[in-house]
Structure 1
Amino acid sequence: MRILALEPYYGGSHKAFLDGWSALSRHDWTVLTLPPYKWKWRMRHAAVTFAQEVHEHLSEKTRWDLLFCSDMLNLAEFRGLVRRDVRELPSVVYFHENQLTYPVRVECERDYQFAMTNLTSALAADAVWFNSAFHRDEFLAALDAFLKRMPDHQPAGATERIRAKTSVHPPGVVPMPARRGRQPGPLRILWAARWEHDKNPEEFFRALGILRRRGVAFRISVVGEQFRETPEVFAQARRDFTDCIDRWGYQESRADYEVALSEADVFVSTARHEFFGLCAVEAALAGAVPLLPTRLAYPEVFGLGQSEDAGRFFYDGGPETLAKRLAEMARFLADGQSLTDRAEGLRNRLRRFEWPNLAGVLDAALEEAGPAPSSSV
């Protein structure tokens, strides 16, 4: 099939998703993108910009079989602005995130117009894909509650119409290089996430403080994307743990990022918000043992309750419990045992997310969403 893909925010996980899939896909992709800058403005203007680009820069003879876009596009607006043959294409919208449950510090800061954009895009699409069942269920529940708050003209049955065309299609990851022998030293702990409050860095650093007071030796790498406003806890933590820091801050290249993953004994998440957990999957495939909270998409993605060994990769509670689990791993490592070997079964299960294994699965799903063979142009 010939796919027209539109990505208003071509960066981070959105870019990795399109690049990873299209590189191995059996379909022919035309990908139109905008730089990852000022996401609110991207959601406001991308439909107009992409419609103009289709009209001005793509030949009238160019034909596609399916339109694919992310949740950052107002699909309804785009279809209303673009030429007829594009407007009538079967369409799939992929929700990496959504603007109803994406965390804000104060709820009054949430701009519900962006939530309405998600709603109209989902209604306009022929198929609505989510990166996890957790994400799908959370969005639909929040959407239903949101629509009930409308003073009048509530769109009757909108949530159920969207639910009927949803499906779950997780994103893929690039295969990780084979891990080399571990360098001597204490437990190496990796925290890798956006430096924002929804990733709950305070809990991570409190756990480290508990470990230090108990005399447990460790090294840390704290990496991830940073923005203009960064929680103060990072500056304080850098001062508190300066003697045990291996890596600190955003890793400028993919190679540096992969090295950070390959050096870690354990990957820790303290997130209060996560729709899938790409970094956790990548770290586990790179050889680190994941230590994850029993919430969000993590139980689904890492098979909690589905595999006998899955429970060892989760913790309940707050920093005390997290510190206890990290101390256990430190003792295990000090006894000369291999943490990497403990996660071999998990890595084998997670390989289903590697692009060479996943691209064909997503290709087949697109074919199901596309036009019947007789109607393909």
Structure 2
Amino acid sequence: MRVLAIEPYFGGSHRAFLKGWETHSAHDFTIVDLPAFHWKWRMRHSAITLADEVNRLASQGERWDVIFCSDMLNLAEWKGLVDSQVASLPKVLYFHENQLTYPSQQPREWDYHFAFSNFTSAIAADEIWYNSRFNETEFLRELDAFLHRMPDFQPSHHIPLLQEKSSIQPPGVDSVFANKLEEEATDLNTSGSPLVVTWAARWEHDKDPETFFKAIRLAITNGVNLRLRVLGESFKNQPPVFGLAKQEFATYIDEFGYAESQSQFVELMQSTDVFVSTAIHEFFGISAVEAALAGAYPLLPQRLAYPEVFDLEENPDRQKFFYGGTAESLALALGRCHDLKKAGTLSTGNLKVQLQRYTWPNRAPIMDEAIAKLAHK
């Protein structure tokens, strides 16, 4: 089967998602994409730019059976601009995130256009896939509130129709993270060595780095012997806390910045004791899953998609992987992990095995079947 995959922001997790699925899929993919640059501009112009590209390919004889696109594309606009044969194909819209719940630092910066683009794209799609139930629930709830703030002609009657064609399809992760040998894991858990703590996320305010560094400060004050790795992609307007923290914690930092390669990132995760997230905006948590597959002990805020992704409700014993979301509760959790490492008992139990379901060899066949079923309706 031939899949036309459209990605206006081909970088980071969006790129990893498509390349991972393509690599492990039984289907043939044509990926039409744009560089991951200026996301707001990408959401505004990509329907035109990528319609032009698809029309060019179609004029050269390219044909497809189904269309897959991310939430960065205004699917309704794109559909109106492409060749009628392409426009008639069944379409899947994948929500990696949504623009209704982004926590803007300045409320005036929030742009209704992007939220409405998500809405019209969802209407135009034949199926809507979300990476988590949390994402779906948040989007539909906020969409209802959003539409009711409009002055008239509030099209909220579409919301039940969106629910009817929605499903949950978690992303896959690279199985290489799970390849650490057991003897390597044992070597890392030596009682006399410092606790290796890794924070890995985009260097932006919605990942709440301030809480992380405050917790580190408290943990050090409480006597926790630790080493720091602060990883992730940085931007021109990154939060100033990173520059301040680099100076304050200079004697504790082993890594600070973007990993030079995928292999280095895997290596760093596999040699991590504790992986920390402080996110206030997260719809799945790929880095957390990768870290746990690599054998790291996750410390996650008990909010967002994390309880769902880590099956907390079905496995109450996993409460130990969650903290209250504050710097104080995180510092206490780091202290507990420090004590466990000193005792040689810092372990995630069977978590690594159970998270194998998120690896691409397991996820790709499920997604292949779902998109083939739509194509053959």
Q: Which residue of 1 aligns with 2:272?
A: 264
Please report how far the alpha carbon of residue 156 of structure 1 lies from its aligned counterpart in structure 2 after TM superposition: 4.1
Q: Distance in 1 between matches of 2:330 and 2:370?
A: 39
C-alpha deviations, 1:297-346, integer Å up to 9, x for none?
00000011211431111112412221111111111111233x2xx21311
Q: Which residue of 1 aligns with 2:372?
A: 367
Q: Which residue of 2 aligns with 1:108?
A: 108
Q: Distance in 2 between matches of 1:328 and 1:77?
A: 52
User: Which SS does the other structure have where 1:72 is aligned?
Assistant: coil
User: Could you tell me which amino acid in structure 1 is paired with residue 133 of structure 2?
Assistant: A
User: Which SS does the other structure have where 2:5 is aligned?
Assistant: strand
Q: Is the 8 A contact 1:284 1:347 kept in 2?
A: yes
User: Could you tell me which amino acid in structure 1 is paired with residue 365 of structure 2?
Assistant: G
C-alpha deviations, 1:322-376, integer Å up to 9, x for none?
1111111111111233x2xx2131111110000011100111111222233xxxx
How many residues are treated as equivalent by the alignment? 369
Q: Distance in 1 between matches of 2:117 and 2:326?
A: 36
Q: Which residue of 2 aligns with 1:201?
A: 209
User: Which SS does the other structure have where 2:99 is aligned?
Assistant: coil
User: Could you tell me which amino acid in structure 1 is paired with residue 159 of structure 2?
Assistant: T
User: Which SS does the other structure have where 2:312 is aligned?
Assistant: coil
TM-score, normalisation: structure 2: 0.95
User: Could you tell me which amino acid in structure 2 is paired with residue 257 of structure 1?
Assistant: F
Matched, 1:307 2:300: no
Q: Which residue of 1 aligns with 2:39?
A: 39
Please report how far the alpha carbon of residue 60 of structure 1 lies from its aligned counterpart in structure 2 after TM superposition: 5.1
User: Which SS does the other structure have where 1:303 is aligned?
Assistant: coil
Q: Which moved more, 1:128-137 or 1:97-106?
A: 97-106
Structure 2 runs not aligned, ≥5 long: none
Q: Which residue of 1 aligns with 2:291?
A: 283
Q: Which residue of 1 aligns with 2:338?
A: 330
Q: Which residue of 2 aligns with 1:375?
A: none
Q: Which residue of 2 aligns with 1:170?
A: 170
Aligned 1:208-219 pairs, distance under 5 A: 208-219=216-227
Q: Is the 8 A contact 1:96 1:130 kept in 2?
A: yes
User: Which SS does the other structure have where 1:309 is aligned?
Assistant: helix
Q: Is the 8 A contact 1:66 1:371 kept in 2?
A: no
Question: Aligned pair in 2 of structure 1 residues 241, 156: CA closer, same or farther (>3 Å)?
Answer: closer
Matched, 1:353 2:358: yes
Q: Distance in 2 between matches of 1:54 and 1:202?
A: 43
Q: Is the 8 A contact 1:134 1:275 kept in 2?
A: yes
Q: Distance in 1 between matches of 2:180 and 2:350?
A: 16
Q: Distance in 2 between matches of 1:279 and 1:59?
A: 40
Q: Distance in 2 between matches of 1:61 and 1:211?
A: 62
Q: Distance in 1 between matches of 2:109 and 2:69?
A: 26
Q: Distance in 2 between matches of 1:347 and 1:95?
A: 26
Q: Distance in 1 between matches of 2:90 and 2:152?
A: 31
Identity of aligned residues (%): 51
Q: Which residue of 1 aligns with 2:281?
A: 273
Q: Distance in 2 between matches of 1:54 and 1:336?
A: 57
User: Could you tell me which amino acid in structure 2 is paired with residue 268 of structure 1?
Assistant: V
Q: Distance in 2 between matches of 1:156 and 1:170?
A: 27
Q: Which moved more, 1:201-210 or 1:4-13?
A: 201-210
Q: Which residue of 1 aligns with 2:74?
A: 74
User: Could you tell me which amino acid in structure 2 is paired with residue 368 of structure 1?
Assistant: K
Q: Which residue of 1 aligns with 2:238?
A: 230
Please report how far the alpha carbon of residue 56 of structure 1 lies from its aligned counterpart in structure 2 after TM superposition: 2.1
Q: Distance in 2 between matches of 1:88 and 1:138?
A: 30
User: Which SS does the other structure have where 2:35 is aligned?
Assistant: coil
Q: Which residue of 2 aligns with 1:96?
A: 96
Q: Is the 8 A contact 2:17 2:172 kept in 1?
A: yes
